Amino acid sequence: MTFDYDLFVIGGGSGGVRAARVAAAGGARVALAEQDRYGGTCVIRGCVPKKLMVFASEYANDMKDAQAYGWTVHAGGFDWDRFHGKLTDELDRLEGVYRNLLKNSGVDSFDARARLSDAHTVTLSTGESYSAKHILIATGGRPVRPDLPGAEHGIVSDDIFHLPKLPKSILIIGGGYIACEFAGVLNGLGVEVTQYYRGAQILRGFDDEARGLVAEEMIQGGISLHLGTNILSMEKDGAGYRVKSTNGTEKVFDQVFFATGRRPNSDDLGLEDLGVELGRGGQIVVNEYSQTAVPSIYAIGDVTDRVNLTPVAIREGMAFVETVFNGNPTPVDHDLIPTAIFTQPEIGTVGLSEEDARAQEPIEVYCTSFKPMRQAFAGRVNRVMMKLVVSQETRKVLGCHIVAPGAGEMIQMAGIAVKMGATKEDFDRTCAVHPTMAEELVTMKTPVRTG
Ligand code: NDP
């Protein structure tokens, strides 16, 4: 049987574009459909604009520090319009880069919504249909609002990048990556930030000591963080919104931001009719080669809800191409993925939390918390933390957790050692880089806890 294409990719985000490009570079005839903007969540409404907003927000403290270091700096306040204009231009540029990458690799791209009409056919919203030997679904996910009265008035992370002006006050609901990162960003940009999280501590699943320190630092930085608290309902009140919460209070905020998780974009793709299995959260169920229950259909990235991170989606895309087009079955390695949360301060983490490691085997914990030189000199009271969780039996570092400015950069490097199976003694025989914060990772001599 002949097909129009060897591969039809649905979704032009990081994972889909990478898979399409690499398959086409290897000689496959490839098409890709995207209903919105090329670059997907990461480039258009996630990691990239978020990180630029993190940078923008950090200047507030940088300017205070500069004054403490002897500079005459007159901060004139933050101009959202100016920043937003530049941000929009940058995203337009990046979208152009993504479109060109596809074009230059010989991928046919369609600005249309796609739906599967059978195991080898994609039908576009423009009415055209194309057959393909393989179909790759890389449609990502989207933010969800909780089901409560008035929730439709709240914004989600997609909206943050399009605000006509910054609110004076905001209530952020949630305690995950997005809630905590934007609490720091908006606080730094001068917005009065209140955050409600329903659980006992933010950033569930991360190392307890690390998330405890981040929570302290967020409060110290001016965020009004309320744990064990959730929103019950919201309604319009003048120019803002009146919010009833589980702590019995009623308060008015200019804006309410739901950072309450994301859902895979698997609806209305025609999947169930073809026998593609979906999980309870709507995620596409795949095997280690990203193959669904229908052999010609594969899925990668957030729509599969495995590890929802851009570099993971890209690796899943590469492994898919290697498996399907290069005849080299390559499972995706989801073990020991280093990651950063761009809170202020950042968390960089790889491997097991102290709690998870202890549940697995006897451990030693090496941990230090201190005031870093740069901030301490400027008179700030902020603390940082470096922690290694070590197996008593194998001496391997099972987890490394850093809370510090620049922790994302540090954990990328530490992640290599941990992925290679480095032991505590390997860390110890690495000479310190002085004076840095990260040198503490190789100079911790005595465990603070064992067992
Ligand atoms: P998360 O799943 O990380 O967090 C969702 C938060 O919302 C949790 O604190 C959750 O509470 C809370 N929540 C869920 N439902 C409700 C509800 N009905 N009422 C109140 N609170 C609720 O999702 P995010 O949206 O923050 O991020 C999605 C994913 O995107 C992340 O998991 C991550 O993979 C990725 N991401 C990565 C980033 C990075 O690498 N730096 C940055 C941003 C996103 P509870 O803990 O109790 O369930």
Does residue 332 belong to any structural domain of this protein?
no
Q: Does residue 247 share a domain with residue 217? A: yes
Is a pLDDT exceeding 80 seen at residue 133?
Answer: yes
Instruction: Tell me which of 259, 278, 313 is where a domain ends.
Output: 259
Q: Does residue 292 share a domain with residue 221? A: no
What residue's CA is closest to ligand 1, atom 24?
Answer: 261
Contact 347, 407 (CB under 8 A): yes
Instruction: Tell me which of 259, 280, 313 is where a domain ends.
Output: 259
What residue's CA is closest to ligand 1, atom 46?
Answer: 204
Q: Which atom of ligand 1 is nearest to the CA of 260?
A: 7
pLDDT digit string (tens) for 38-49? 999 999 999 999
Does residue 313 belong to any structural domain of this protein?
yes
What is the number of structural domains in the chain?
Answer: 3
Q: Does residue 238 share a domain with residue 91? A: no
Does residue 270 belong to any structural domain of this protein?
yes
173 within ligand 1 shell (Cβ under 6 A):
yes
**Which residue of 160, 178, 263 sits with most ligand 1 atoms within 8 Å of its CB, as the best mutation to test the pocket?**
178
Q: Which atom of ligand 1 is nearest to the CA of 340?
A: 41
Q: Are strands 114-118 and 121-124 parallel, antiparallel or unpaired?
A: antiparallel
Q: What is the CATH number of the domain that holds 239?
A: 3.50.50.60
Does residue 138 belong to any structural domain of this protein?
yes
Q: Does residue 358 share a domain with residue 235? A: no
pLDDT at residue 76, as a whole number: 78
Does residue 185 belong to any structural domain of this protein?
yes
The CB-based long-range contact list for 216-222 (8 Å cut-off, 24+ gap) reads 216/383, 217/343, 217/344, 217/345, 217/382, 217/383, 217/403, 218/180, 218/183, 218/184, 218/187, 218/343, 218/344, 220/381, 220/382, 221/184, 221/187, 221/344, 222/187, 222/193
Q: Does residue 313 share a domain with residue 231? A: no
Residue among 219, 175, 183, 222 at smallest CA distance from 54: 183
Q: Which atom of ligand 1 is nearest to the CA of 199?
A: 47
Q: Is 153 a catalytic residue?
A: no
228 within ligand 1 shell (Cβ under 6 A):
no
Q: What is the CATH number of the domain that holds 382?
A: 3.30.390.30
Local confidence band at 341 (pLDDT 50, 70, 90 cut-offs): very high
pLDDT digit string (tens) for 224-279? 999 999 999 999 999 999 999 999 999 999 999 999 999 999 999 999 999 999 99
Local confidence band at 372 (pLDDT 50, 70, 90 cut-offs): very high
Does residue 334 belong to any structural domain of this protein?
no
pLDDT at residue 1, as a whole number: 79
Q: Does residue 314 share a domain with residue 273? A: yes
Q: Does residue 267 share a domain with residue 255? A: no
Q: Does residue 422 share a domain with residue 354? A: yes
Does residue 330 belong to any structural domain of this protein?
no
Q: Which residues constitute the domain of residue 16?
A: 5-142+263-324
Locate 172 and state its tokens. 């952020």
Ligand 1 center to 260 CA (angstroms) = 5
pLDDT digit string (tens) for 204-234? 999 999 999 999 999 999 999 999 999 999 9
Q: Does residue 374 share a domain with residue 314? A: no
Average pLDDT, the chain: 97
What residue's CA is closest to ligand 1, atom 34?
Answer: 308
Contact 189, 56 (CB under 8 A): yes
Tell me how far apart the terminal alpha carbons of the chain are, to the nearest angstrom.
62
Locate 96 and state its tokens. 């152009």
Q: Does residue 119 share a domain with residue 34? A: yes
Does residue 333 belong to any structural domain of this protein?
no
Instruction: Tell me which of 227, 259, 291 is where a domain ends.
Output: 259
pLDDT digit string (tens) for 160-219? 999 999 999 999 999 999 999 999 999 999 999 999 999 999 999 999 999 999 999 999
Q: Does residue 273 share a domain with residue 247? A: no
Q: Does residue 374 share a domain with residue 436? A: yes
Ligand 1 center to 176 CA (angstroms) = 4
